[in-house]
Amino acid sequence: MRRVPLLVTFLSGAAIASLFFIPHHKAQAVNSKLLEWTLVVYAFALILGSLSLWMSHAKKVKKRAEGWPYSMVTLVALLAIPGLGIWKGVGAGSPVGMIYDTVNAPLASSMFALLAFVIASAAFRAFRARSAEATLLLLTAIIMMIGRVSIGELISANLPGITEWLLDVPNLAAKRAIAIGVGLGAVSTALKIILGIERSYLGRS
Amino acid sequence: MGWVEKLLSIDRRIIFLLVGAGVIVPLLLPVNLPVTVTPRVQAAYDAIDALPPGSRVLISMDYEPEIMAELMPMSIAVLRHCFRKHIQVVAMTLYPAGTGLGEHALDVASRAEGAVRNRDFVWLGYKSGFQVVMIGIGENLRGMYPVDFYGTPLDSIPMMRGVNTYAQLSMMINLSGSSAADYWIQFAQGRYHAPIVLGCTAVMATDYYPYLSSRQVLGLIGGMKGAAEYERLIDVFGDGRRGMDAQSLVHLIVVLLVVVGNAALFATRGGPGAPAARPGEAPPR
């Protein structure tokens, strides 16, 4: 029985990899169909995730654990928002649309905006020229931070040019090297899984 | 405690106040700092500008509210450019929370340029499954989107007549804050050879430079700076250019803080060889 998932993995992996290189429309139709099946997996993962979220937060509320009111908010939102979406729709002007505009969007933006404050504080305390490499990093960061914004041009007309060179030469070379390394690593890992050499996804080594 | 020690143990709320002021003041009192257009943004503009009127482009706005500060001005600027050039836009998103944002960007740009829904643009809304959607558009757009976001069948929308794959679209423009951009390059460009222009966050931009130099991506608009450059190219003073004043000042504050922090450390410890300051050594009060 243990060979069945290995066989399914081999056939699926080999088929998807081969179909990528076959431009014929029939092959692409098969490929589309296979990829559509991933939506079924997403759907089941969504159900599983929602159940897991419900159980985890319901347990906290039941036990009155620390922060349980937040869990209550999560549970109410988990029920109310999909319910409202099914009942009233999700377009602009609908209750879900209003919740999105007045709660979700400002909260998500605010969370991300806090990064500016945290980074400024962390940079002041931890960004130190402690070695030659750290000094090089620090100088590059300073040139990039100033040269990539409008005020950099006012400080020195050469700064934007220096930042362009940093991006186009050292950065591009490093990015290419990383991309090639990641690509080769991904191919090697995929081959190991397709050929059944790597089996940890089965739950046992 | 000497002044250097006092400086090193400065209350972090003072730093927060500095950053807060650095963001708020330029937004309230814009100074319109100069914006130089970089070759990557110029290339994106030129690629779109070269399309003849009546061309159709696919724009996927794949981002959520947390990065809307960077990508919303970019989306509005690109859409305004398309509408001004009478390029018809087929717009979509691959993120559920991107639906409201994409609709808003279309609303703002279409009002500004007098574009009309279903004549100048179509809003397809959200569809899940990155690769599935990208391959689906390559094979049969109507199979993936039989109706638009508002439930109108695509067959009854005049500007969608004859559009069913990438082959009938002159360009694919992806404005993304995630790995969606990688998939668009891999599938829309790699498999279906659709010309691609990319817009992304500033942090992501350097990841796509190799694609730009290999001509897999025709142009790249990176972050708020890229949006500000695009706004300058289309001669609009929007949120991108307004935001660059604030971003400039905050960058300057961060650089000054780093310089002051290092200078103070050298003054107390005697140079680059000295042990590094750790958060525990200068605890925030």
> pLDDT for A169-205, tens place per residue?
999 999 999 989 999 999 999 999 999 898 888 876 5
Report, as an integer, the average pLDDT of A95-111.
87
Q: What is the pLDDT of residues B173-198, one digit of tens each?
A: 999 988 899 999 999 998 899 999 99
Residue whose C-alpha is closest to residue B174's, from B205, B213, B146, B140: B205
Does the distance separating the beta carbons of B131 and A35 come in below 8 Å? yes
B99 and B16 in a common domain: no
Q: Are residues B44 and B170 in the same domain?
A: yes
Chosen from B17, B185, B248 to mutate, greatest number of chain A CBs within 10 A = B248
Flag if A116 and B258 touch (Cβ within 8 Å): no
Interface test with B, best of A44, A140, A149, A187 (most B CBs within 10 A): A149
pLDDT one-digit tens code per residue, A110-165: 888 898 899 899 988 888 888 899 999 999 999 999 988 888 888 888 888 899 89
Contact of A192 with chain B, judged by CB distance below 8 Å, is answered with: no
For position A190, what pLDDT does the model report?
93
Least confident of A22-26, B41-45, B75-79, B152-156: A22-26
pLDDT of residue B1: 64
Asked whether the beta carbons of B35 and B224 are under 8 A apart, the reply is no
Nearest to A111 among B10, B66, B248 (CB): B66
* Model confidence, pTM: 0.84
Q: Are residues B49 and B119 in the same domain?
A: yes
The arithmetic mean of pLDDT across residues B241-260, rounded, is 92
Taking only the tens place, the pLDDT of each residue in A38-71 is 878 888 988 999 999 999 999 999 999 999 999 9
Judged on CB neighbours under 10 Å (0-12, 13-18, 19+), B145 is buried
A44–chain B Cβ distance below 8 A for any pair = no
A164 CB within 8 Å of a chain B CB: yes
**Interchain contact A173–B (C-beta under 8 A):** no
pLDDT of A32: 76
Contact A116 B23 (CB under 8 A): yes
**Assigned token pair, A85:** 């979406």
Q: What is the average per-residue pLDDT within B12-33?
A: 91
Candidate from B34, B65, B275 with C-beta closest to A108 = B65
Q: What is the predicted pLDDT for the residue at B83?
A: 97
pLDDT for residue A22: 85
Within 10 Å of residue B151's Cβ, how many Cβ atoms? 10
Are B3 and B124 part of one and the same domain? no
pLDDT score recorded for residue B281? 47
For residues B73 and B90, state if they share a domain: yes
Residue % of chain B over a pLDDT of 70:
94
| Chain segment A64-92, per-residue pLDDT in tens | 999 999 999 999 999 999 999 999 887 77
Q: How far apart are alpha carbons B257 and B260 in whole angstroms?
A: 5
- Per-residue pLDDT tens over the stretch B46-101: 999 999 999 999 999 999 988 999 999 999 999 999 999 999 999 999 998 888 89
Which pLDDT value is given to residue B283? 43
Total domain count, chain B: 2
Give the distance from CA B166 to its chain's centroid: 23
Closest residue, chain B, to A119 (C-alpha): B254
Q: Is the pLDDT of residue B6 over 90?
A: no
Select the residue of B97, B225, B261 nearest A124 (Cβ to Cβ): B261
pLDDT for residue B145: 92
Among B128, B149, B282, beta carbon nearest to A42: B128
Place of tokens 């050594």: B281
A180 touches chain B (CB under 8 A): no
B18 and B77 part of one domain: no
Mutate to test the interface with B, among A35, A109, A125 (most CBs of B within 10 A): A125
Domain range for B71: 39-236
Same domain, yes or no: B25 and B54: no
- Please say if the pLDDT value at position B255 is more than 60: yes
Q: What percent of chain A has pLDDT over 70?
A: 99
Cα distance between residue A83 and residue A89, in whole Å: 9
Cβ pair B58, B48 in contact under 8 A: no
* Cross-chain Cβ contact B68/A105 below 8 Å: yes
Q: Do residue B66 and residue B84 come from a single domain?
A: yes
pLDDT at B270 over 90: no
Give me chain B's average pLDDT, please. 89
Most A CBs within 10 A among B66, B103, B256, hence the mutation to make, goes to B66
The pLDDT of residue B131 is above 90 = no
Hey, are the CB atoms on A28 and B255 less than 8 Å from each other? no
Instruction: Give the confidence band of B2 by pLDDT, cuts at 50, 70, 90.
Output: confident
Q: What is the CATH number of the domain that holds B103?
A: 3.40.50.10160
Q: Is B275 a residue whose pLDDT tops 60?
A: no
**Are residues A117 and B284 in contact, defined by beta-carbon separation less than 8 angstroms?**
no
Q: Are residues B193 and B66 in the same domain?
A: yes
Query: How many Cβ contacts (< 8 angstroms) between chains A and B?
Result: 170
Burial of residue B95, with CB atoms counted within 10 A of its CB: 0-12 exposed, 13-18 middle, 19 or more buried: buried
Residues B16 and B43 in one domain: no
Strands B56-62 and B171-176 come out as: parallel
Give the residue on A whose Cα is nearest the Cα of B260. Answer: A124
Residues B54 and B15 grouped into a single domain: no
Are residues B28 and B64 both part of a single domain?
no
Residue A151 in contact with partner chain B when CB distance is under 8 A: yes
